[in-house]
Amino acid sequence: MNEPIRILHTESSKNMGGQELRILLEMERMRDLGFESILAARSDTPILAEARRRRLQAYAIPMHNRIDPVSMAMLWRLMRHEQIDIVNAHGSRDAWVAFLVARLLGVRTVRSRHVANPIRRHRIGQMIYGSLCDRVVTTSESIRAGLIACGVDAEKITSVPTGIDISSFAAVPRDGRLRQELGIPLGVPLVGMISVLRGDKGPDIYLAACDRLLDERQDVWCVLAGDGWMRPQLEVQHEKSRNRERIILAGFRRDVPQLLAELDLLVLAAKIPEGVPQAILQAHAARVPVVATRVGGISEVAIDGETAFTTEPNDVAGLVDAMRLALNDRLRAVAQTASGHALVSGSYSIESMLLRMAEIYRTLADTK
């Protein structure tokens, strides 16, 4: 029997959002395909705590900066002790620390790119996608196109959107228990945004739009679920809201399927391009209508007039208009949920993602 291919995922982010959840999901589910996964993350980060809660093998590595001798020494010992075959780096800081060590040890490397902001164009900055890297995986075609435009070899890049477990979202009953927990009345329209709370995701735009919408609709409630560095600022914004009693800051939730089951509308107010958001895929799987901004990989799954109501980023008035339309035109919204469900079922399943990642890993392992 062949020995399992051993993958080391590295992550230097201090957030817990779609990027981090994809890593954990892949680590859990790739076991059945003949892979063993290990995580190296910064100390005292949510992903490290969550990996250990899920009983995944995880190591704390400081990763103080991109050239961190202490972290490099720790990763050297880790890679040799765990007999790592492939390193998959998910952030810039951890990629530099891990890839320099991997090259010295002859370990193959994958750079996963989850965000769409431009990379450095100078030669040293691009080494992480060039000579130090064997393959690049992006979470959307728009991110792939952006890397190519910045000079990364197109032949090296593969787009593998994050897949979701459709069955986990498709048939969750609306039983009202979550509304009761959050103090939201049964039967009222509920609008929600589920996201890591940071500036590029636009939670401040969402809250501002909710305030205006609730001025018009006395029956509507709104919820913002997630956590992140922007939370204190959003709490201040919430406190100043005219309608704060009907806007709930729910914090980080593990029961996202139950939350989606209670929503009448899912909103994503991202300000800048990003990959394909899990929240929109999950909403499609749960047949929840979607309002989203037209930026980056969002447009690959929130297709205007087909699977979602869309608007321009940083446009509070436009977002309110789209939310109003989605709530008022229920026949159109329901038709879009059917198209969204068909889209996610065909191209964005967890099985599809895992099989494509397995192919990438096995090809690299065979050429080691």
What is the rounded CA–CA span in Å between residue 170 and residue 189? 20
Place of tokens 């009907």: 246
The interaxial angle of helices 330-347 and 316-328, nearest 10 deg, is 100
Nearest Cα neighbor of 111 from 89, 94, 80 is: 89
CB distance 365 to 34 below 8 Å: no
Chain-centre distance for alpha carbon 171 = 22
Number of helices (H), then strands (E), in the chain: 15, 13
**Which residue intervals of the chain are DSSP H helices?**
18-29, 46-53, 69-81, 92-105, 141-149, 167-170, 177-182, 203-216, 231-239, 256-262, 278-285, 298-301, 316-328, 330-347, 350-366
Nearest Cα neighbor of 204 from 64, 314, 78, 62 is: 314
Q: What is the pLDDT of residues 243-276, one digit of tens each?
A: 999 999 999 998 999 999 999 999 999 998 888 8
DSSP codes, 295-363? -TTHHHHS-BTTTBEEE-TT-HHHHHHHHHHHHH-HHHHHHHHHHHHHHHHHH-BHHHHHHHHHHHHHH
The mean of the pLDDT values for the chain is: 94
Which of these CATH numbers, 3.40.50.300, 3.40.630.30, 3.10.20.30, 3.40.50.2000, describes 5-163+349-366? Answer: 3.40.50.2000
What is the rounded CA–CA span in Å between residue 259 and residue 272? 25
pTM across the whole model: 0.86
In the chain, where does the domain assigned CATH 3.40.50.2000 lie? Answer: 5-163+349-366, 167-347
Q: Lay out the sheet containing 290-293: strands in order across.
A: 247-251, 221-225, 190-194, 265-268, 290-293, 309-311
CB distance 139 to 277 below 8 Å: no
Q: What is the DSSP letter of 151?
A: T
Quick one: fold of 167-347? Rossmann fold (3.40.50)
Kindly report the backbone phi and psi dihedral angles of residue 110, in degrees, each rounded to the nearest multiple of 5, phi listed first: -125, 130
Residues of the chain under the 70 pLDDT cut: 1, 121-125, 368
Strands 108-113 and 35-41: unpaired
